[in-house]
Structure 1
Amino acid sequence: MTADRLSGDTQLQRWTVPQDEAIQHGTPAEPASEPVSVGRGELPQEAVVWRPDGTLITRQDDATLKLWALDSAGAARRPAPRTALQQVMWAPGGEEVAVLAHQDGWYLMDPAQPGRGLLRHVEPHPYTRRDPTQQDAFLREIGELGPEEFSLGGTLVAFAPDERVYAVTGGRRGPLRLVSPGEAERQAHLAVDRPLWTGLCFAPTGDRLIGSLRLHGKTMLVPWEFTTDRSDHLVPVRAGGSATGVTPPIESVACLTASDTHLALIADPHLIGLFSLHDLQPICWLRTNAPLRHAAFSPSGGQLAVAGDAGLYLFSVAPLPPGDRT
């Protein structure tokens, strides 16, 4: 383990060390792998330890424990960036996942081989969809913000899969509107005044929008069916499917995302909720060990990727039984 005294950059490198007798005869130690950047840290406060069988290296500092597996060539694979992951996007065919590391750009990963880690750095993300980090740019594009204005999270916008139709709130407590090019603007009709919007997402079919809002200290889901124009039905977020189910202690909603059959709600404190998209009844809840930022279903709906401070979580999502939408 070495560190640059000026920059604080720390690198991990594997060396081949001769037997004591060979060293006494002048045989030097030699590098056995390229250096791997492991972030910044003070060396006196760190420890590097080998697993006894020589297949794993661990490094610990005051706040972090990291692990490296050795590949077939004996080189430590590059670890994930030492920053929170903030966004996740799937390739159109589902063969890759792009994740955005805070202040470190986009990285690609193979979801079929997650053990290989983040494969390479790309900038910007390589897919044709809108960059999810450009929310203020979206709002300026649709005329909700002036050239020099910033939303500060006050207005939510979500684009349909065709990226032409979009839904937008007039501020966190403003009306929810649906805008389609060449068509009259539509507005959701709710049974409550000035709801506090916390999330928006379209179903992959584009004919349905799911919103989340805060009402009397509880999180509610709002399905808006465009074919019937019904948007006045509020579904409480519960831990169980019954009306008496316990409400999870949701502090804030970070993200909503939908597949053809499921809805995922990402919330604090460190919660992932999975629902049936048909009736928004809960299927399961998971609690992680760190804050979560963003999530996305794979194009097939068979996997859910969740990005957060601890890295990227990949879940397999089982299809609902035939005829059973709950």
Structure 2
Amino acid sequence: MKKALYALLGLALLGPALRAAPYSHLEDLRPNGKRLFLVNRLLDSRTISYCVEMPEEETDFLDRTQARAMIEVALREWTHGIALRIAAAGRADEFKDILPVLDAPLRLVAQPQCNKAVLPLWKDFYASAPSAPAVDLMFVFSTPYCSGTGAHATSYYAINGQEPFICSLRRYESPVRTPSEQDYFPPMAKVENQAELQRQGAALFAQAKAGKYDGALQKKVWAVNYIFSYDDATYFSIAVHEIGHAFGLADEYLEERTGEYKSLQPGEGIMRRAYQEIGCDEIDGMITLIDRARGTQRKFKSFCPNRGLICGGKEVPPPAAPLQNALQKELSHLIK
């Protein structure tokens, strides 16, 4: 049965087996799957529906309210949060056509039930698989199910028919909770007022979830996440990483390139390491996703230092210096 599941998921299961690169587009792996990716929701209804499936017996550090808070803040990070980063880089005028797409009000609808009837092998792990209205994205938090069907990944995004889902084991820390006396948080050199921020986590995420998001609040949210991620990623950073796939971006942590839309170097943001923040590659990636969905051709300097221009969604290598050209020519002659 598990072999049948892996055949069903195919290249849609995002894990070490998938060849990817910074801001590579998943649509290159599934050319007819454009309607599945959330970037298109930003260009039409601006409404994203989701659901959370969480078996009652698994309660470590996470409940449905906390999960929804982190999911909604993660979705806002990929929209309003990217807009904040573009503005902070001093490039708002350059991307004045992109910012309204990212920064306009986003309506997030949490459905009370997930359509478990479409989840592969759900009945092999739980007694029944009732149907429910379809959503844009399902979130499944279940150690038995996700570890049993996820090809050894602790979390993954999968395209299953027309209803993508994110699966995560119950193993991470939740920054949206009040620390107990038994918790130990080592001092974080980069975080000021660490003890105060630890206690503010739930309140900060509630503010961000409500849409009251500016650069100062964004920094606090990521500072809280950093505190709780002292030994691993958190549920929040994992949600941000996997939602990056849902918008249409591939992983950044593998060297081999695939597809037409890609950069030329490994990335350093959250699509490479799930305990980091959204970085320059993710900014480049969201811009190229929106341009591709719109059919727009754009040339711009990468947000990453020491990178070249991005033209039509692809990074253009800088011209080689004369000495480098001569050396390459000589090496080519010697090899022949």
TM-score (norm 2): 0.23
Q: Which has the higher contact order (CA 8 A, sep 6+)?
A: 2
TM-score (norm 1): 0.24
Larger Rg: 1
Q: Which has the higher helix share?
A: 2
